[in-house]
Homo-oligomer: A and B are copies of this chain.
Amino acid sequence: MRGYVEGLQQRILAGLEDLDGGRFRIDPWDRPGGGGGVSSVLEGGRVLEKAGVNTSAVYGLLPDRMTSVLGVDKQSFFATGISLVIHPMNPYVPCVHANFRYFALGQDLADPDDEWFGGGADLTPCYPFLEDAQHFHGVWRDTCSRHALADYRRFKEECDRYFYLPHRGETRGVGGIFFDYLRGEAEATFDFVSGAGDAFLEAYLPIVMRRMSTSYGAAEREYQEIRRGRYVEFNLLFDRGTKFGIETHGRTESVLMSLPPRARWLYGWMPEPGSREARASWYFKARNWLKLSESDVP
């Protein structure tokens, strides 16, 4: 998994650099307790306003906080994964987040419960299009359909449940898939998780290509900053990875790399009735995108 994750990071960086024309800044780091990672960031690109693709492979003794979260008494662990967030410049190009990770407890893996995979990918548009949501979800449905242990419908529902802002009564975006604690036959699980990682560029790049030349002005950028405010709210108030990273004294810049370049909060902001911004909010509910057609869009 570690080797896979490092290779995937290379492929994703290459794909994104190709798209943007800019170059990622590569930032390797060591973890005092064991292991380390490679953060890579591109800021101020032509297409990507801020993109971060992190990998890490860390091991050592479990932080106390983590033994209690996991409810285990094993002391040592190994974890590896890739995590990425892309905030594009153009408000018509959706933000995307994905991560694929592996976790092992103890030294011997004698108990199959001692290792598991997790991950997922989700799309957060400002100005959503059914076509984009369908393309994104279609790739994940197809990927899941190739692996007996993967259940698109369940993973999609878990994603909708996880990326939800209760205080706003809205989802973070149009979802995707989310899965955690995938245990069982490790080879088959790895095949699925690596298959999902392999599908990432196919799920995202065609959407970027389709939207990146749409013209926009200050009003769209302002709305984008407001939506990015919601993104910040989710990540700092609810995201388990962020909270865990902060509480266990993870590397702050890597943990918070997911935050958008800029966000805005206006008191009591509401979209103008009938505006594109008002119509966008229809998309911030859990819906079965693959079963909808353009005539369902209000």
* A interface list, Cβ under 8 A from B: 25, 27, 39, 41, 43, 50, 52, 166-168, 225, 229, 232-233, 236-237, 243, 246, 249, 252-253, 255-257, 259-268
Within 8 Å by CB of A167, from B225, B246, B257, lies B246
Contact check, B236 vs A167: say whether CB atoms are below 8 A apart: no
Contact check, B41 vs A267: say whether CB atoms are below 8 A apart: yes
Contact check, A262 vs B261: say whether CB atoms are below 8 A apart: no
A267 to chain B: closest CB distance in Å? 4
Within 8 Å by CB of A236, from B236, B255, B267, lies B236
Which of A50, A236, A252, A267 neighbours the largest number of chain B CB atoms within 10 Å of its CB? A267
- A43 cross-chain contacts in B, Cβ below 8 A: 266-267
18 CB contacts below 8 A, A to B, read A41-B267, A41-B268, A43-B266, A43-B267, A166-B249, A167-B255, A168-B252, A229-B259, A232-B236, A237-B243, A253-B268, A256-B265, A259-B265, A261-B265, A261-B266, A262-B262, A262-B263, A262-B265
Cα–Cα, bound, A195→B253 (Å): 42
A110 to chain B: closest CB distance in Å? 36
Assembly stoichiometry (copies): 2
A7 to chain B: closest CB distance in Å? 23
List 9 tightest A-B contacts by C-beta distance, closest first.
A236-B236, A259-B265, A41-B267, A167-B252, A262-B264, A253-B268, A167-B246, A236-B237, A263-B263
Query: Which B-chain residue is minimally distant from A39 (CB atoms)?
Result: B267
Cα–Cα, bound, A246→B237 (Å): 9
Within 8 Å by CB of A249, from B167, B263, B265, lies B167
- A167 cross-chain contacts in B, Cβ below 8 A: 246, 249, 252, 255-256
A276 to chain B: closest CB distance in Å? 22
- A225 cross-chain contacts in B, Cβ below 8 A: 262
A41-B267, A237-B243 are known; give 14 further A-B pairs, CB within 8 A: A41-B268, A43-B266, A52-B267, A166-B249, A232-B263, A233-B256, A237-B237, A237-B246, A256-B265, A257-B267, A262-B262, A262-B263, A262-B264, A263-B264
A252 to chain B: closest CB distance in Å? 5
A33 to chain B: closest CB distance in Å? 16
Cα–Cα, bound, A263→B233 (Å): 12
